[in-house]
Structure 1
Amino acid sequence: MRAEGSQGRREARVRPRHTSQDDLRVREFEAYVAGAGTRLLHLATLLTAETPDDNPHARRLLTLALARTYASWDRLHGEDPYAHTRQCLATRFANGAWHRRGGLLRPRARPAGLLARLSPQERLVLVLRLREGIAEEQTAALLGLSAERVRAVLHRAMTAVLSPPPRPASAVGGVKAVPS
């Protein structure tokens, strides 16, 4: 009988699972996502070279990066959550695209557009340097490359973006090409 009584008292002292600190954390994170979500989705869409209207890979990439940010929300200690999420996006994109593992960026149809002509590495460096304004040294540290390599990749990406796409070969010597 005594064991039942002490057990009952222990159960009565159990704290509720959700405290006001948890609620505050959720509200802070929701406010962060409401403020930065659109910009982060645009960043992910640029990385995946999908169209803004049809970007399931970018949405999945962003969801995974936001989940990682939420998991470490209490450990950020005043750090910029946008920079943390951007780093998670870049890292996850690099691992999924460069190494072709995990199926994160499994191709459906070849995306069309200016950035689709670039390799994933070129796209990542171009977007981080020009769209996000991250310094060359920080980009190199984030991607595990040398600053010279980042500079070379950016130069190659800029050349590809600024040069016109190759045109189909014209007919030679008055012979017309047969449409297929």
Structure 2
Amino acid sequence: MRARDEARAARRASEFQAFVAGAGGRLLHTATLLTAEAPDDNPRARRLLTLALAHTYACWDRLRGEDPYDRARQYLATRFARSAWHRHGGPPPTGALALLTPQERLILVLRLYEGVGEEQVAALLGLPQERVHALCDRATATLLHPPRPPAANPAASGTAARTATP
């Protein structure tokens, strides 16, 4: 009995290692896109990935035909959503997707990068499908046409510069 349990544990570990080798990079990239931080040093993305992989490993034996990548991605998305909705403090994101709200980022990454259908994203986030569609459209428009920073008033700048010189 003990030998059978050890063999099962070894098989489980081997299967999981193969899964991580094949999917770990893409899941890390997804986490990096979600956090909208620089990909080279992103502890939030690595933490999200670690939590998603730990959750997937914990339920590995119960997957029974379910795609482990889908399970890991789902946990990654819901964990990000919970932490982003309740996050206070810390440095703001600086990546290309930093213009988007966390919800817009999550929907855009799931829809466009991961290729998840609107119905699935809506079910995952508990939103109406129309809301997912609208948020995805708004996020795409924001990235295609980013808001311009307010132009500095040249007259005010010149006045300040003249009064500052002796």
The TM-score with structure 1 as length reference comes to: 0.82
2:115 matched to 1:115? Answer: no
- 1:161 matches 2:148: no
Partners of 2:157 and 2:52 in 1: how far apart? 55
Structure-2 residue corresponding to 1:90: 77
| Of 77-86 and 170-179, the range deviating more from structure 2 | 170-179
Alpha-carbon distance between aligned partners in 1 of 2:24 and 2:67, rounded to the nearest angstrom: 14
Mapping of residues 118-129 of structure 1, within 5 Å: 118-129=100-111
TM-score, reference length from structure 2? 0.88
Q: CA–CA distance in 1 between the matches of 2:39 and 2:75?
A: 20
Give me the CA root mean square deviation: 2.1
Cα distance in 1, alignment partners of residues 131 and 121 from structure 2: 10
Q: Which residue of 2 aligns with 1:58?
A: 45
What is the aligned partner in structure 2 of residue 144 from structure 1?
A: 126
Q: Report the residue type matching 1:81 in the other structure.
A: P
In the superposition, relative to structure 1, how do residues 175 and 27 fare at CA in structure 2: closer, same or farther (>3 Å)? closer
**1:133-174 CA-partner distances (Å, limit 9, x unpaired):** 111111100111010110111111112111134234133448
Could you tell me how far 1:16 is from its partner in structure 2? 6.2
Percent identity for Structure 1 against Structure 2: 61
Cα contact 1:45–1:55 (8 A) shared by 2: yes
Q: Does 1:28 align with 2:15?
A: yes
Distance 2:42 2:118 in 1: 28
Distance in 2, matches of 1:165 and 1:54, equals 27
- Equivalent positions of 1:130-141 (< 5 A) are 130-141=112-123
> Which secondary structure does the structure 2 equivalent of 1:133 belong to?
coil
Is the radius of gyration larger for structure 1 or structure 2?
1
Alpha-carbon spacing, 1:174–1:59, altered in 2? closer, same or farther (3 Å): closer
Unmatched 5+ residue regions in structure 1?
1-13
Structure 1 residue runs of 4 or more that deviate by more than 6 Å after TM superposition: none
